[in-house]
Copies of this chain bind each other. A is one copy, B any other.
């Protein structure tokens, strides 16, 4: 018989922006039987419990996942990888293990090594903010967001359906794909923007060291283009180090285009500049984001 979300004890490991926002949606909506939050730091455990974001909070992984029907791993990628090596013996047979990590190939490979009987599914909600931690969490974060789902060959249809139910329950839209395809696509739309934003901030910082007025003059264009550079560095190091080849490919595509723009500008080749900039203008204007405005 299909297990339903409302009958499930859900244990969320990691109460940062992503994990805590999920807990808040589950608790407020009464979407499942019990919401448990597991965090490393005691003050996060206390804050999660007393804010009402979870029914039960602990910093003991063993206690937290005991008897859980769904375990959601919501930490940086390499912490997920090391947890997947340890967590197996603590889980009940049939337990759905889903993660919220930003890269999927290495995580899904580690999921393959979970004990027989455990039901792993890779996941990655495509939303976020440049602010991190429990204090940045908010209900409704996932409303309208695409949520990548990467099942394994061993994942049962029932468990995949339960994962879909969880995603739909918080208002997100599941998109099914392989881990490798996921990693290739997010290299372009998430990891490359992060590196570009960081390089932009670097250039402005350089100039600002000579003329600090640049920071007073900077407005909406710089604000938006550089926003993701303020993201948690630790989280992004994990992402970059577990998706190096795909990121290098995308970075090379961007570098090559910037070099062409540079050459056209240096030569005063307005026709070539116009051709390249118009193509990007048309493509970007035609695109409509699926997330909240």
A116 at the interface (CB under 8 A from B): no
Chain B residue nearest in CB terms to A252: B262
Contact B287 A218 (CB under 8 A): yes
Which among A19-27, A42-50, A153-161, A201-209 touches the partner chain?
A201-209
Q: Are A219 and B289 in contact (CB under 8 A)?
A: yes
Instruction: Check if A184 sits within 8 Å of B211, measured CB to CB.
Output: yes
Instruction: From B228, B261, B274, give the contact of A225 (CB < 8 A).
Output: B228
- Bound CA–CA A276/B198 (angstroms): 8
Name the distance in Å between A262's Cβ and chain B's nearest Cβ: 5
Measured between C-beta atoms, what is the minimum distance from A31 to chain B in Å? 23
* Contact A185 B214, CB 8 Å, known A196-B258, A219-B290, A284-B230: yes
A205 touching B258 by the CB < 8 A rule? Answer: no
Residue from B213, B276, B281 in contact with A185 in the complex, judged by beta carbons closer than 8 Å: B213
A259-B255, A290-B219 are contacts. A214–B188 as well, Cβ < 8 Å? Answer: yes
Q: Is there contact, CB below 8 Å, between A175 and B262? A: no
Task: Specify which chain B residues have a CB less than 8 angstroms from the CB of A134 in the assembled complex.
Answer: none
B195 touches A261 (CB 8 A): yes
- Min C-beta distance of A95 to chain B, whole Å: 28
Chain A residues touching B, majority SS: helix
Copies in the complex: 2
Is the Cβ of A222 less than 8 Å from the Cβ of B189?
yes
Nearest CB in chain B to that of A194: its residue? B221
Could you tell me if A265 and B277 are in contact, using CB atoms closer than 8 angstroms? no
Min C-beta distance of A239 to chain B, whole Å: 11
Interface string of A168-193 (1 = CB under 8 A from B): 00000001010001001110111011
| Interchain nearest-CB distance for A46 vs B (Å) | 25
* Structural contact, A266 and B254, CB atoms closer than 8 A: no
Closest B residue to A290 by beta carbon equals B216
Nearest-neighbour CB distance to chain B for A234, whole angstroms, equals 9
A253 partner residues in chain B, CB cutoff 8 A: 202-203, 206-207
- Name 15 A/B residue pairs within 8 A (Cβ), A-sorted: A127-B219, A175-B217, A185-B207, A185-B214, A194-B221, A202-B254, A202-B279, A204-B283, A207-B250, A221-B228, A223-B291, A229-B284, A237-B277, A241-B268, A251-B262
